[in-house]
Amino acid sequence: MKVAVYAICKNEAAFAQRWMASMSEADQVVVLDTGSQDGSVGLLRELGAAVTEETVSPWRFDAARNRSLELVDDDADICVCTDLDEVFHPGWRKALEAAWTPQAGQAAYRYVWSFTPAGGEDTVFWIEKIHRRHGYRWTHPVHEVLTWTGPGQPGPTVWARGVQLDHHPDPNKSRGQYLPLLELSVAEDPDDDRNMHYLGREYYFYHRWDEAIATLERHLALPSAQWADERAASMGYIAKCYDQKGRPDQAQRWRLRAIAEAPHLREPWMDMAWQSYGQEDWNGVLYFTDRALAIQDRPRSYITQASAWGAGPHDLRCQAFYHTNRLPQALEEAEKALSMAPEDGRLAGNVVALRAAQAS
C-alpha cells in the first residue's frame, strides 16, 4: 500500500525536524505552507517534504486541509493527516497496515492530546484522521471533521491498535482565531450539535458565562444532540458557569442532570464529588467517588478527563476519610493515590503524615 502524510504549516520550524523524522515511515509527505516567516519551508524541503506555498484567505481550517489533501498523489491508498506539533510512535506504518482492510474508510488510533508536567499522559482519546485517498472532504471552519462525499456509503472504520500519535504543542501559540471561527461555523450550520457544544465550551474558556450557558442550552435543545456523553459535558460546563456566577444550587442541579444523562461516565460523578468537597460534605465525597471508581472501562472519546482516571478519586477519598476521623481508610486511599502519581510531592506528604498518625 502507498501511504501519504499531509499537513498544513505556518511558522513551525521548531517542530519540523522532529515531525519529519516521525513521518518518515510514509511513502509521501506533503505540506501546504500558508505563510511561514521562520524558515519552515526551506527546512521542510531539505528534510524531504514536498511543500506548496499558498495563502488561504479568508482563513478556514477545512479549506486549508482540503487544499493540502489535494497535494497527495492520486494513487495513494491511505492518507494520514497530522499537524507539525504531533509525532507518531515508531512502527506506526506497520501497525496501520496490519489493521487496514481493502474496504476500510478510516482508521481510529490512540491520541495523547496533552501530558502532565511530569511527562505522563494526561488527556487521551481515539481519533480518525487516517482515511482512504478518495471520497473524503474536511468540513467546518474550525474543529474540522472528515465528511464522506463519495458515492454510496463510506467504508468501515478500523481500529489501528499499536498506532499512537502524541501532541506536543507550542504553549505560546494563540488560539484566538478559534472563537470567531466557531461562531462562523455555527452561523453556517446552526443545526450542527457538535459545533454548538464547542462554541459554548469556548465561551466558557473566555469567561463569558451567560453566553456559554445560553449556547450550551441551545446545544441540548437540538434534535440532533443525541450523544449522551457530549450532552453530559455541556451540562458540566453549564454547572461550572454557575459556579463562577456564585450559584451553587444551579451548579448542583446541572451536575445531577449530567449524572442522569450519562451515568456510565466517571466525569459527572467526579464533578459532584468535587462540589461536595468544596462544601465539606464528606459523605457526599465518598458516595460520588465510589460511584466513579465503580466505572472501570475508560471510554475512547475526547469527553474523558484525565483527572477522573488518575489519582484524583483516591485523593478526594483520602481527604473525606481524614476529615471523618477514619485514618486507616485515609491512609489506604492516600497510598493508592500516590501509586498513580508517584511524582506528586503533596500526595507523598499525605502518606508520610498519615503513617505517622497511625504509628502514634
For 325-353, write each residue's pLDDT tens digit.
Answer: 999 999 999 999 999 999 899 999 999 99
DSSP 8-state code for residue 298: P
41 and 69 fall within a common domain: yes
Q: What is the CATH number of the domain that holds 130?
A: 3.90.550.10
CB atoms within 10 A of CB 348: 15
CB atoms within 10 A of CB 153: 8
12 and 135 fall within a common domain: yes
Residue 357 near residue 321 (C-beta atoms within 8 A): no
Count of domains observed in the chain: 2
Domain containing residue 114: 3-167
Q: What is the pTM of this model?
A: 0.91
Question: Residue range 158-166: average pLDDT?
Answer: 98
Helical (H) or strand (E) element with 5: strand 3-9
**Residue 358 — very low, low, confident or very high, per pLDDT cuts 50/70/90?**
confident
183 and 163 fall within a common domain: no
22, part of any domain: yes
92 and 135 fall within a common domain: yes
218, part of any domain: yes
Q: Say how far apart CA 236 and CA 195 lie, in whole Å.
A: 17
pLDDT single digits (tens) 64-114: 999 999 999 999 999 999 999 999 999 999 999 999 999 999 999 999 999
Q: Say how far apart CA 70 and CA 64 lie, in whole Å.
A: 10
16 and 153 fall within a common domain: yes
Q: Say how far apart CA 65 and CA 128 lie, in whole Å.
A: 15
Domain end (from 256, 279, 302): 279
Q: Say how far apart CA 166 and CA 164 lie, in whole Å.
A: 7
193, part of any domain: yes
Q: What is the CATH number of the domain that holds 259?
A: 1.25.40.10
Question: Residue 172 above 90 pLDDT?
Answer: no
Domain end (from 279, 301, 324): 279
pLDDT single digits (tens) 43-59: 999 999 999 999 999 99
